[in-house]
Homo-oligomer: A and B are copies of this chain.
Amino acid sequence: MKIIQDEFSVRTTSRNQMIDINSQVEAFVSESGISDGEVTVYCPHTTAAITINENADPSVQHDMLMTLEELLPQDRPGYRHYEGNSDSHCKSTLVGCSERVLVKNGKLQLGTWQSVFFCEFDGPRNRKYIVQVRGQ
């Protein structure tokens, strides 16, 4: 088994934002030389997340971020955390800080409309994510 890992930077520009990082993940898997296995995309931040969703119509990203804003507004009576970003921590846990995609013949086994997204919930910030491919 081979394990190949690297870290990538991303600059976000809004408080809530989805950034398609699929081409970076695909290129890294391709260059790893690993043909079959799994790739993990991991977000080391507690107010951001990784998800897989539609890459075709950008309205989907707008609608998803709007929905999360309405369910999880920044100001909720009773919040104690002094940084004012408890909503961002909630979004991070509900969306999840990592995703995994299967790899076959050196390609990500994504569905037709799927891309991997970095989700910012407390931007704008300089962020990073880690990609690890495991397989043979």
A68: B residues at CB distance < 8 A = 90
A130: B residues at CB distance < 8 A = 102, 109
Select A78's contact among B37, B38, B66, beta carbons within 8 Å: B66
A5 contacts the other chain (Cβ, under 8 Å)?
yes
B78 near A132 with CB under 8 A, answer: no
* Interface flags, A96-109, vs B, CB<8A=1, else 0: 11111110100001
Min Cβ gap A65→B in Å is 10
A82 near B59 with CB under 8 A, answer: yes
Nearest 10 pairs of A and B residues by beta carbon: A44-B111, A63-B86, A59-B80, A59-B81, A46-B54, A1-B1, A51-B93, A67-B90, A63-B79, A3-B36
Binding site for B on A (CB under 8 A): 1, 3, 5, 36-38, 40, 42-46, 51-54, 57, 59-60, 62-64, 66-68, 70-72, 76, 78-83, 86-87, 89-90, 92-102, 104, 109-114, 130, 132, 134-136
A–B pairs, 9, beta carbons within 8 Å: A45-B111, A45-B113, A63-B79, A63-B86, A67-B87, A94-B94, A94-B95, A97-B99, A98-B100
